[in-house]
């Protein structure tokens, strides 16, 4: 990748990160919760959304979940 393309991609990434919401768990910007799509039966049944956190607060330096 040329330097110009890399700089342009870095600027796009920085702009995207700047516009991200603040994580309610760690206070950093970014999408730290991954939501798993629900089917119609789960939605009609009133089941809560399912997902998981990718926030660094929940993981140790070795990558294992601590909480």
pLDDT digits (tens, 9 = 90+) for 18-63: 777 888 888 888 778 888 899 999 889 998 888 888 888 888 889 8
Question: Residue 15 domain-assigned?
Answer: no
**pLDDT recorded at residue 11:** 92
Per-residue pLDDT band for 12 (boundaries 50, 70, 90) equals very high
Question: Residue 26 domain-assigned?
Answer: yes
Q: Cβ(53)–Cβ(32) under 8 Å?
A: yes
Whole-angstrom Cα distance, residue 38 to residue 50? 8
Domain range for 37: 22-67
The label of the residue with tokens 């702009």 reads: 15
Please tell me the total count of domains within the chain.
Answer: 1
Residue 26 is given by DSSP the state: T
What does pTM read for this prediction?
Answer: 0.48
Q: Is the pLDDT reported for residue 6 higher than 90?
A: yes
Instruction: Return the higher-pLDDT residue of 1 and 22.
Output: 22
Question: Residue 4 domain-assigned?
Answer: no
């Amino acid at each position: 990748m040329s330097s110009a393309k890399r700089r342009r991609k870095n600027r796009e990434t920085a702009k995207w990160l700047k516009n991200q919401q603040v994580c309610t768990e760690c206070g950093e910007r970014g999408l730290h919760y991954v939501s798993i799509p629900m089917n119609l039966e789960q939605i009609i049944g009133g089941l809560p959304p399912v997902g998981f956190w990718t926030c660094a607060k929940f993981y140790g330096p070795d990558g294992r979940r601590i909480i």
